[in-house]
Amino acid sequence: MHICAGVSLLSPPHSLSPAAFINHSCSSSLKPLLSRRSESYNLRTTVSASLNTRTHLENLSRLLSPVQREELPSAINQNDLLLPSLRLPHLFSPRPITEEDPSPRSLAHLRHLLSDSAQYPSPRRAIASRWSELHGCADWSGLLDPLDPDLRRELLRYGDFIHSAYHAFFHSPVSATDDPRPVSIPDRSYRLTRHLFATASIDPPNWLPSSWTSPRSSWIGFVAVCDNDREIRRMGRRDIVVALRGTSTFLEWAENLRANLVPLDACFQPKVECGFRSLYKTPGHRVQSLSTAVAEEIRRLVKLYDGEELSITVTGHSLGAALSLLVANDLNSSPNTPPVTVFSFGGPRVGNRAFAELLENRDVNVLRVVNAHDLVTKIPAAIDCGRRWLDGYEHVGRELRVDSRVSPFLKPDADPACCHDLEAYLHLVDGLGGGEGCQFRPNAKRSLARLLSQQRGNVKRLFVRKAMALGLDPTVNGGRAGLLC
């Protein structure tokens, strides 16, 4: 509508008055009924038109009259007063944007994210020409921000190995050490070659209920080797994986609390946490120590595949991340060892600065994935005395930082268990878009089914309702992997 200056719009034209319509109404002696009906119709039409015109003019008057700013509350946006003041019909009601508004691009994308698509992994490109770069030969320079797509797939793939370790343990946590344990490795190109056990050096007190106690030796992970020629060609080498789960038994929790630093070996400078070293070095009644079992199996596999290009990837979550550093340190101390890389998730500090320098001198490549709100990654606490660091704990390797608060699916006040959960870590790695603030990329592909089953209370209610509307029950437990440290 265009309004010209100098033209008065507030004086109604005479042709729109009711009297004008009545005076100009036609009557017919031949059709008196029609005449009366026509007069009645014209009168009703005229009155209606007059009322609409009056309302229209009042609206124009409100629109053109100045608004006194001092009469309006400061919290009210004056632009918001326009539509209500004109008394126009409510064609739509704007929906307020909340923190739970969905970000997926379409319902089909949301359905894919909420489905259990783990059996349909995203395609992986050939990395034969750059696998050593992805495994840290150049300290991951230029690959972390933004996160390289191939490195993202590698991290997710090794994270799923840890999931397999959790599932295998919770399937039968109190099985005898010599019983076969089913392990479902997500990548079928790998073959399990050895079961691994960790043994605590302390006995539970007698006053504890039997349901709280556990055997001193517990299954903690496995060694697997790539046994598929096609996958070997894609990766450019034969890969050996050591996967270790996190804390899951009472005695492992007790060992975690032994936070004093002790010498790693005969050399007194590098020191590590007492509890971690105990779980790593202590043999069981019928099982070898974790350190001996890993060393023997790696030597056997290196000898078996002598002449091939090999790599050793050690991966773990929480306690498994701490033990991964001890494993990698021992493996790289042996001559003729293939390149060793550690991909860890939510790992605590393990040793002092001398231990960190020892790993660096032995060319152990370490990439730590750390959630900014994960408390486990901040313990044991480092000791800072002015500018001089005392003999306290220090992290090892490069850090890849993620942030659970930037996920559009997780609540911003997610609890500490969610911030440390393995599946939450993999969800954040899949969505990590790079840039300041760890922005979440809109084209993340990892399924939310496992995250819903394990951290339903920390997923925004909107997506829980969406999952149920799509016929997916988020209460079904898809596995307990990553629930514990």
The domain tally of the chain equals 3
For residues 186 and 140, what is the distance between their CA atoms, to the nearest angstrom?
26
Q: Which of 239, 374, 421, 430 is catalytic?
A: 374
Collapsing DSSP to helix, strand or coil, 101 comes out as coil
For residues 183 and 161, what is the distance between their CA atoms, to the nearest angstrom?
10
pLDDT band at 415 (very low <50, low <70, confident <90, very high): very high
Q: Are residues 444 and 361 in the same domain?
A: no
342 has pLDDT over 60 = yes
82 has pLDDT over 80 = no
Q: Give the pLDDT confidence of 182-236 residue by residue, as tens digits.
A: 899 989 999 999 999 999 998 887 887 776 777 899 999 999 999 999 999 999 9
pLDDT at position 384: 57
76 has pLDDT over 90 = no
Long-range contacts of residues 329-336, Cβ cutoff 8 Å, at least 24 apart: 329/264, 329/355, 329/358, 329/359, 329/362, 329/364, 330/291, 330/294, 330/295, 331/294, 331/295, 331/298, 332/359, 332/362, 332/363, 332/364, 333/362, 334/295, 334/299, 336/302
Q: Are residues 256 and 309 in the same domain?
A: yes
Q: Which of 148, 420, 447, 453 is catalytic?
A: 420
pLDDT band at 67 (very low <50, low <70, confident <90, very high): very low
For residues 414 and 420, what is the distance between their CA atoms, to the nearest angstrom?
10
pLDDT at position 98: 43
Q: Which of 318, 344, 407, 453 is catalytic?
A: 318
Secondary structure in 3-state letters for 262-273: EECCCCCCCEEE
Beta strands 310-317 and 238-244: pairing type? Answer: parallel
What predicted TM-score, i.e. pTM, was given to this entire model?
0.75
Nearest to 328 by CA among 246, 232, 381, 264: 264
CB atoms within 10 A of CB 186: 16
Nearest to 158 by CA among 248, 114, 224: 224
Q: Are residues 296 and 443 in the same domain?
A: no
Is residue 72 situated within a structural domain? Answer: no
Q: Are residues 386 and 439 in the same domain?
A: no
415 assigned to active site:
no
420 assigned to active site:
yes
Is residue 83 situated within a structural domain? Answer: no
Confirm if 468 and 444 have CB atoms less than 8 A apart. no
30 has pLDDT over 70 = no
Q: Which domain holds residue 381?
A: 124-402
Q: Are residues 442 and 355 in the same domain?
A: no
For residues 196 and 319, what is the distance between their CA atoms, to the nearest angstrom?
14
Is residue 421 situated within a structural domain? Answer: no
**Mean of all residue pLDDT scores within the chain:** 79
Residue where the block lists tokens 């539970």: 204
Is residue 194 situated within a structural domain? Answer: yes
- Can you say whether the dihedral through the CA atoms of 396, 317, 346, 350 is positive or negative? negative
Q: With 0-12 CB in 10 A as exposed, 13-18 as middle and 19+ as buried, what is 113? A: buried
CB atoms within 10 A of CB 112: 15
Q: Are residues 376 and 345 in the same domain?
A: yes
Q: Are residues 383 and 314 in the same domain?
A: yes
Nearest to 430 by CA among 116, 113, 107: 113
pLDDT at position 336: 87
Is residue 63 situated within a structural domain? Answer: no
pLDDT band at 453 (very low <50, low <70, confident <90, very high): confident
Q: Are residues 118 and 147 in the same domain?
A: no
Confirm if 197 and 177 have CB atoms less than 8 A apart. yes
106 assigned to active site:
no
For residues 364 and 213, what is the distance between their CA atoms, to the nearest angstrom?
36
